[in-house]
Structure 1
Amino acid sequence: MANSNINKNSDGTYRSLSNRHVQMIAIGGTIGTGLFLGSGSTIAKTGPSVLLVYLVLGLFFFLMMRAIGEMFYSDPSHHTFVSFITKYLGPAAGRFTGWTYWIGLVFVCMAELTAVAAYVKFWLPNVPSWIVELVFLAILCGLNLIAARLFAETEFWFAMIKIIAIVSLIITGIFMMVKQSTTPLGHASLANITKGYQMFPNGSFNFISSFPMVFFAFQGIEFVSITIGEAKHPRQIIKKAVNETLLRILLFYIGALVVIMGIIPWRSLSPDVSPFVQIFELAGIPAAAALINFVVLTSAASALNSAIFSSGRHFYQIATEGREGSFLKEKFAKISKNGIPTPAILLSAGLVLITPIMSASAATGSVFTIVTGASSDMYILVYALTMLAHRKYRQSSDYLPSGFKMPWYKVTSPLTIAFFLVIFASLFFIKEDIIGAVAAIAWAIGFGGYVLITQKKLETNAN
């Protein structure tokens, strides 16, 4: 009986996630389809300088994760990092961030579900997308509803597939470079990276515009923190998961990019074809396209799985912070007998059912692209608010001087906030991102203003 008390939270959720689950979820959140598919276009824009872009962004994401990790270490009972925003910046900021992040997660689910259907068409071109979408959504939603441990086990194997693909690429690349293999594009060698190196080979604008592209490739790295409320040994696990973030970025992203540019001279790299496919084809693996399609399919399914898990926890958090007696709190601030926020997950997954309708119409598809872009841009605001909450935590009585502290806080905290704001500002100089950035600002002003006004009314009525 004592053991069950240890593993059960006061709200009814269970601490069933082991260290290996959380570590693999961290890797899954760090590595997305951006590396497998999008890295070719980023390399084409910036050349070898792309390594610097990944390194700089990796460092700032690591610092953000240290800030989140420090707050969770001080109080591991929270289910989401957004609850710290409510705690330290007030209920209005918490409501704005909670709803903004949750809506963003729903659109992430929609985008990843659309991607899953597209990848399945590689093998089943005649099966309608909406059928594929319904099947995948039902399976992954079902896994999330049974137990957190089952979600984590699924993520473990999804992440393992990604790791095997990247490690295989790196080993293949090292072997080809050591042998100095000759390909139709030249000799495989590290000299391909340094030969005729220029900081801005395609101009400074292309270099700067690559930062938002890589930023969105890292988006979702914070998902690991959402598992802490259901981890067996939260303080031990959060330290390990966060501290290894930078190492994973260096190993998987930087390692893979070095190998890609070492084998294929970067000016010969096709931006429209996965670099992984190109490398494995040059290595003489005929099924390269099918193999990488399988990897990106599991990567998209992994992102969808994590987004369903995360959106359910975030909506549950929103519901628990609702007014007493409100419909929101009565219906959705509930945990099922198996320790799952079932109503919140069902609502989030239910909204994702709009995806099949979206994929059936070109007009709604273009609107969907704009809204998805705007929701991604809103994540930057959420990250900035998270950093501000961390600053308030440092000034509060909750601060643990002996805790898991963000390194060089006085310098790194304002630098990280400033960096996120610079990334947001850069969107206005990139034609494809302007609409999304404007929509994000409109949301922040419109919804943020509404939340402030309603919060003031509640406080006035309470007094």
Structure 2
Amino acid sequence: MKKINDSQNKMKRALSNRQVQLIAIGGTIGTGLFLGSSRSIALTGPSIMLVYFVAGIFMFMLTRAMGEMLYMDPSQHTFINFITKYLGRPFGFFSGWTYWLSIIFMGMSELTAVGIYFQFWFPKLPMWLIQLAFLLVIMSINLITVKFFGEAEFWFAMIKISAILALILTGIFMLAVHFKTPVGYAGLSNITTAFQFFPNGWTKFVMAFPMVFFAYQGIEFVGITTSETKNPRKVLPRAINQIIFRILIFYIGALLAIMVIYPWRSLDPQQSPFVWVFKLLGISWAAGLINFVVLTAAASALNSVLYSAGRHLYQLALDSSGSFKHHFAVISQKSVPARAICFSALTVAISPIIYVIPSVQDAFSVIASVSSGAYLLIYILTLCAHRKYIDSPDYLPDGFLMPKAKIFDPLTIAFMCFILLSMLFQSSTRPAVIGTVVWIVVFGSYSLAKHKN
């Protein structure tokens, strides 16, 4: 087995197994599960669990492909480096900037969500002030030390996990006592009665896939921690392998609990199922409790965004030259890429300005939706790089091997293409597909021209 080469890694390996495990969980649980579960269930009923399972399997395979390459070379700050190495500089340049911009747009969305959730308690506070103050706190967490970031993310994830486990245990309790709800009794019959795979038609079933895919975005963040993790070849495989079980427990378990308690056709798509489930238990302050949980989830996502964006911008600077490299390829005394983190935070801080100007906000909504399509491009290129890695001299036969890679690499690529096509079924996601094609043509052509030699 090859030795880990840390000669290029100036960052400290300070993240423990406990922290990386929870960072992996945090990367797979967003605000969508707490707020949007009713909407996803309303699309296709109980078969939404199948959608989560199928999408989860392919996202797991994606992380296994990333994990195999990172296991081979844990000194890398980002998986994008493998795209550069195995597909060429134009693809690496395209992927690096596309991924960084996608993360920034994600951060802007999460910062906006933070402002909305915080105004639940303080409606008179200006949105921009809440957002900037919150961003400053999260940026400070990232600037102190990577260990401090890991500890903050650990507790953010613990809050989310506790809320989900509370919901699942509530479902088990209500099922056991045959709990009476305003529309009947808790029981498996709420799922099995008149069960259909496509209760609202096959098009709604297909439309559920992009929604579920977006819920999984960020699952790759665990791989970005590799260069700062203690014993990465021991910790990384364990964290990635447990992702599939977390998907089953947290996503499918929560959805199953919701539909056991309440007939899925009676759900209000505009209301968080977590709120009314806890209200059924007599918790009058359930709305405030779940608002705290989703605020934590948004803070967790923003924390991970700044961590990831900072490392990616640092890597982009390392791979460049001139003043850009001079200014951003710098590690602070705390062993973090402070300038890259600050610049990424400053870019995310544009969000409050965007949401004050309606015409700019409309344009931003279209651009942000394009970033979702861009994520698919990055995932596809990563899988193509993995395929090239398998046939390269770098291949580590005794490493953390992706199972049946020659079968699952093309299958997972096909699934990503299916997600992109399924986005055409909804008017809200259709512009993202068109925008993604335009981005490929315009920025892809620029990348090829810039690195044609």
How high is the TM-score relative to the length of structure 2? Answer: 0.98
- Stretches of structure 2 that go unaligned for 5 or more consecutive residues are none
Distance 1:382 1:418 in 2: 14
- Residue correspondence of structure 1 range 68-107 to structure 2 within 5 A: 68-107=66-105
Distance 2:16 2:7 in 1: 15
- Residue correspondence of structure 1 range 187-198 to structure 2 within 5 A: 187-198=185-196
Structure-2 residue corresponding to 1:3: none
Please give the secondary structure, in 2, of the residue aligned with 1:163: helix
Distance 2:414 2:6 in 1: 40
Structure-2 residue corresponding to 1:423: 419
Percent identical pairs in the alignment equals 53
Structure-1 residue corresponding to 2:278: 280
Distance 2:183 2:230 in 1: 51
Structure-2 residue corresponding to 1:331: 327
Distance 2:11 2:48 in 1: 42
Comparing both structures, which one devotes a greater share of its residues to helix?
1
* Aligned partner (choices 258, 273, 282) of residue 260 of structure 1: 258
* Aligned partner (choices 193, 198, 201) of residue 199 of structure 2: 201
Distance 2:133 2:293 in 1: 19
Structure 1 stretch 359-368 or stretch 330-339: which is displaced more? 359-368
Residue type of the alignment partner of 2:376: I
Task: Please state if 1:161 is matched with 2:159.
Answer: yes
Structure-2 residue corresponding to 1:396: 392
Structure-2 residue corresponding to 1:383: 379
Task: Please state if 1:212 is matched with 2:207.
Answer: no
Distance 1:8 1:124 in 2: 47
Structure-2 residue corresponding to 1:145: 143
Residue type of the alignment partner of 2:116: A
Structure 1 stretch 359-368 or stretch 69-78: which is displaced more? 359-368
Distance 1:349 1:176 in 2: 44
Distance 1:176 1:183 in 2: 10
Shift of residue 9, structure 1, vs aligned partner: 5.9
1:8/1:123 CA distance change after superposition, 3 Å: farther
Residue type of the alignment partner of 2:298: A
Q: Deviations over 1:366-413 (max 9, x none)?
A: 222111111111100000000000001101111111111111112111
* Aligned partner (choices 347, 350, 370) of residue 374 of structure 1: 370
1:94/1:128 CA distance change after superposition, 3 Å: same
Q: Deviations over 1:192-247 (max 9, x none)?
A: 11111011101111110000000000000000100011001101111001000000
Structure-1 residue corresponding to 2:111: 113
Whether the aligned pair in 2 keeps the contact of 1:7 and 1:14 (CA below 8 Å) is no
Please give the secondary structure, in 2, of the residue aligned with 1:431: coil
Structure-1 residue corresponding to 2:431: 435
Distance 2:195 2:232 in 1: 45
Q: Deviations over 1:10-38 (max 9, x none)?
A: 44210000001100000000111111111
Please give the secondary structure, in 2, of the residue aligned with 1:345: helix
Please give the secondary structure, in 1, of the residue aligned with 2:395: coil
Structure-2 residue corresponding to 1:320: 318
Residue type of the alignment partner of 1:123: W
Distance 2:336 2:139 in 1: 12
Structure 1 stretch 165-174 or stretch 331-340: which is displaced more? 331-340
Distance 1:18 1:25 in 2: 11
Distance 2:167 2:110 in 1: 24
Q: Deviations over 1:317-368 (max 9, x none)?
A: 1111113xx1211111111121111111111111112111112122222222
Please give the secondary structure, in 2, of the residue aligned with 1:144: helix
Please give the secondary structure, in 2, of the residue aligned with 1:360: coil
Residue type of the alignment partner of 2:320: G
Q: Runs (4+) of structure 1 moved beyond 3 Å?
A: 6-11
Shift of residue 8, structure 1, vs aligned partner: 7.5
Distance 1:221 1:230 in 2: 17
Residue type of the alignment partner of 2:441: I
Whether the aligned pair in 2 keeps the contact of 1:129 and 1:359 (CA below 8 Å) is no
Structure-2 residue corresponding to 1:53: 51
* Aligned partner (choices 356, 365, 368) of residue 360 of structure 1: 356
Distance 2:142 2:90 in 1: 30
- Stretches of structure 1 that go unaligned for 5 or more consecutive residues are 1-5
Distance 1:7 1:379 in 2: 29
Whether the aligned pair in 2 keeps the contact of 1:7 and 1:232 (CA below 8 Å) is no
Distance 2:18 2:284 in 1: 34
Structure-1 residue corresponding to 2:401: 405
1:191/1:9 CA distance change after superposition, 3 Å: farther
Whether the aligned pair in 2 keeps the contact of 1:121 and 1:127 (CA below 8 Å) is yes
1:282/1:9 CA distance change after superposition, 3 Å: farther
Shift of residue 191, structure 1, vs aligned partner: 1.5
- Residue correspondence of structure 1 range 214-233 to structure 2 within 5 A: 214-233=212-231
Please give the secondary structure, in 2, of the residue aligned with 1:404: coil
Whether the aligned pair in 2 keeps the contact of 1:12 and 1:337 (CA below 8 Å) is no
Structure-2 residue corresponding to 1:351: 347
Shift of residue 433, structure 1, vs aligned partner: 0.8
When the two structures are aligned, how many residues end up with a matched partner?
A: 450
Distance 1:191 1:9 in 2: 60
* Aligned partner (choices 176, 179, 182) of residue 178 of structure 1: 176
Task: Please state if 1:136 is matched with 2:134.
Answer: yes
Distance 1:387 1:433 in 2: 24
Q: Deviations over 1:267-300 (max 9, x none)?
A: 0011000111121112221111111000000000
